[in-house]
Structure 1
Amino acid sequence: MQVPHSNPFQIRSFASGPAAIPAEVLAEVRRDLADWSGSGLSILELPFAGAEFTEIQDEAETDLRLLLGLPPHFRVLFLQGGASAHFSLVPLNLLSEGDVASYVETGYWSARAVSQARRVCAVHIAARGQRAIPPFDTWRVANGAGYCHITTNEAADGLQFHDVPELNGVPLVADMTADLLTRPVDFARYGLVYASAQKNLGTAGLTVVIVRDDLLGHARPGTPAPFDYALQVKERSRVNTPPMFAIYLMGRMLKWLQRLGGLAAVAERNLRKSSRLYDAIESSEFYVCPIPRRDRSNVNVCFRLPTASLTTEFLEAARSRGLLHLSGHHSVGGIRASLYNAVPEEAVELLAGFMDEFARACRKRV
């Protein structure tokens, strides 16, 4: 159901993806859709092998490396398929036939990664958590594992790794779709990271893969050329036509992040946003967050109301205020507010105020 245009409240999106895009970036996109850099061409009309798009892609990679502090022995790939495709492509690129990989299962998306990896390799569950990150000393990584996989932020469940363990030489592989670029990352702790772009990097269609040099060159025979990481490194992500508009938009988002002050400043901003909502939950004695405080996500705040009917009422009332896309993931239910980088603090303050008001109104009816 669409929100009526007559809604007196400013529209705010808390969608899990595609997520909000900053107004100033949208303004740049509107300009470049009509005329890119005074060329008379739309950004959609540039040839992918031409000098213009090569410059766009190279600058985006440079800015990504600078923001992440990426060491030189990591390669950056701009690929397609979404993170879900790479659930299978990671083992196809990193493991030989018969090799085993360990996985840590902490929620909906890590379970999806496990199910898809099992199609192409032997999967060993190193640890499993139920609405919590399993303590590192309980992890049992398989002997000879080619890698150990985690999902750093479970967007459906609302929990996040705030640290990662040392794995005694086993490469750590991470799906960072929900939290790449929301905070600084120590890439010395990782072997490979992948992330879909529609959370913090712009729009759907692009998957960023960041891979350490020593893990390249092991793709199994039969791996499709566009998904052979080593081949794509050699061809600079151009074995096939890359997702050009998504790469362009990512570049605009990276410039915006630089103007915000980089990832340390972004992390502080995101912590303020999530803390404001968690404070509203804790002080209400009405809402409940099932995730332990130490494991709560700073980008996906998930909580529940006392009854299903109140949840429906909450969503309808929020929508009438212009607070959109707050339904929990279909596998979990409840409420989910996704606070990706482009969600402004003002929007979070509006949501927190609405939550306080709604809880007070419900208590008066009891």
Structure 2
Amino acid sequence: MLKSIVMFWLFVAVVILWPAETFQLNEYSTIKHGLAEMTIHSTTRKQNMKFDYKVCLNSMPYYIKVTANPKYDSGAEKFNVTVVQINFYDAVFELERIDQDSGWREMLFTVQWTIYHISDYITSTATVQYRVDYDTDVKITETSNVSAVYGQGLSSLPALQNTSQLQPRLSQDRQNGHRFLVFDKINTRLITNLDLNPKQGENDLITVFVVYRLDSPRRYTKTWHGLFGIDNGDYDKVIALNIDKLHIGGTIGGYIENTYSLPNANPRALHVWNVLSVQWNVDGGVDASSVWCNGKLLQRFQARISPSETKFVIGAIRLNNRAYLHGAIGEFVLFRGTVIPDDVMKKYQLYFIKKWGITADPITVS
């Protein structure tokens, strides 16, 4: 009898705990999948088809990936698929025959689609993404110090700090519902093992987004706020700020110093949250690289080839520290090898503005 009672309560405990764990995992990602069979024919090389998502969504999808293949593949016909219209409840894709310039007879296709909201699309395309929204993203000590933030995105590379005196701490309060990393000690920084400049700068293309807050003024070179970079003495990719200037390394001429303070887009403002993004596009040439803050373009510049490095720093700009941050970082996202055009840059900026409750002027996106 006693054994039966124990087994009953063990069963009840499993029933109670399992939904909580499942909910956390479902909350982490909102990617949705769908599958259907469609009979399609066309008298021309291209044909548009509409499909219903058949799932409940809370917002308009940002991106949809679709595949369409003949269910009974003869091997003769070859097709490309392009999504041409995204609606709230359905989407339209274009099926194009590519093996010859003609239509095709009635065929049964298996159509599969994956729906991404912008948060999932960023995670699915970024090289690394560091955030502390979920307990699974961070390793903390009993004193709330953070020794590791585990990378999301295409790479699982963690941002690490093994020395307790140099570890940032996990915030107890939240910004717009999200926890963040607090950098309030001298020389606090996190280090990631990733080569920013493979092959000595060949095809050098990096874009960084940082959601951050500055908590004290800095006026001198050695007391800049370092957000990101690897200043190896050769002015490699660096983002740093003081009360007067925004400092960007990895540019033609060594570095640029931006003094602009646009309304609701001042990257040096104290005690406010900003999202700053910098794209270094070496192969793009003059004006292919850019700096954005809170949805506004601050400056275009020409990036330059930099020597190979195997690490970068968050919260400072050197491995042995220089220009340590006194403030907070909510989110850090790095894309490698992907050109981000202006219209997408504004969409990503707007996403971070909404997520983190950043004060910004209205942003028009297509």
TM range (shorter): under 0.3
Relative contact order (alpha carbons < 8 A, sep ≥ 6): 1 or 2 greater?
A: 1
- Structure of greater Rg: 2
Q: TM-score, normalised by structure 1?
A: 0.26
Bigger fraction of residues in strand: 2
Q: Which has the higher helix share?
A: 1
